[in-house]
Structure 1
């Protein structure tokens, strides 16, 4: 793109590149690409409205990276960690035709609200993924289940170049690379840290427990984890 661009321009251009991306995967795995799927025109409308609303400037932001889009979440809407109902009700972005709600998005909605709301949060952060396209594993009956890029050795091997290139592209959004927040303190953090050792995309990576791990297995500690997120995002203890 020529001339002066905004963060929104760069993210939407990245999404367009994803729409044209094809990946070789092992048998039994498939890609969910909202940018080239059956609802691509609706996804384009929603993502354009969302990024124009919150990112139509050139302000440096820090990246918050999950592992990959969930098949009933971002892989539907194209907007990281925003489920359809919250996306419409809290942002004013029309997502009529979607009916997906995710516990992970609910936890993050609470954290964002306590940070100061979406206007303030999205002025400071870009939420995205190490693997920006959704992945599913198919069983012999053809049923699909969410899959992470690190769950299969051959899968990770085939995706490795794509993952590193995607991280490099996301840094070009105009990212503040002093710190990156990794949603997923296990394998996602391990992979991102290993890549960063060689590429030096970020000066520091802060691991945060995945909202699904919090809501499904540690519901009684939700407040504790929310405070951990907020403390990290506010830079407390740096």
Structure 2
């Protein structure tokens, strides 16, 4: 099976879990027929090979990005304008998506970018609280509750054809949570930590070019 075959089978087979904890809501975009088709088109277009990729791992999808399109850090506009995949998911933009696609363009374009990296998240479903994005680690009880699912998710995804020498973790809190799990389960030999796109776009926008270069340098830690 190609990288694409494995990813499509995994994401389009995800079932919506029950989550009755601290008023936290869960969104499963993969329950939508349109998203299933988007996943199929996206990965057939960019991942239809057997090559290893560097995993760039976020927290959990946002409601206007991967939580809507099924493609990590990709809002409907980026999916349409950058990836060439039409969709009926609206015109909502997401800050994290904007940053990631700036990195992709600087890297040499989306085709080159996706030939080298795989964007994903520790937890595959969007989490909401009071209608707003919520991070799994924002609540210690929630983080502990989801631990087995996060481990299961990463175990499954590295079988897609992960480059195991290192992974890039987005966000310091995300890395703090994942590093002990990585030490226990030996997913990757090394973790490289960079600032999360949303943090950069909200608080460090004037220095965005510096962070874009940092992402590219991290990716290029593996000499292609």
**How high is the TM-score relative to the length of structure 2?**
0.95
CA contact (8 A) 1:25 1:158 kept: no
Counterpart of 1:66 in structure 2 is 58
What runs of 5+ residues in structure 1 fail to find an aligned partner? 139-143
Of residues 159, 162, 179, the one that matches 1:175 is 162
Aligned residue for 2:177, secondary structure, equals helix
CA contact (8 A) 2:96 2:197 kept: yes
**How high is the TM-score relative to the length of structure 1?**
0.90
What runs of 5+ residues in structure 2 fail to find an aligned partner? none
Of residues 108, 111, 116, the one that matches 1:116 is 108
Distance in 2, matches of 1:64 and 1:236, equals 13
Aligned residue for 2:48, secondary structure, equals coil
Distance in 1, matches of 2:94 and 2:189, equals 31
Of residues 147, 154, 157, the one that matches 2:134 is 147
Distance in 1, matches of 2:19 and 2:184, equals 24
Query: Mapping of 1:1-238 within 5 angstroms?
Result: 5-18=1-14, 20-36=15-31, 40-138=32-130, 144-184=131-171, 186-235=172-221
Displacement of 1:114 in angstroms is 1.0
CA RMSD for the aligned pairs? 1.4
Displacement of 1:236 in angstroms is 7.4
Number of equivalent positions: 223
Larger radius of gyration: 1
Distance in 1, matches of 2:50 and 2:57, equals 20
Distance in 1, matches of 2:148 and 2:18, equals 10
Displacement of 1:86 in angstroms is 1.4
Displacement of 1:17 in angstroms is 3.0
Distance in 2, matches of 1:53 and 1:110, equals 20
Structure 1 stretches (4+) deviating beyond 4 angstroms?
none
Deviation string for 1:32-68 (max 9, x for gaps)?
A: 11012xxx01111111110000011111111100000
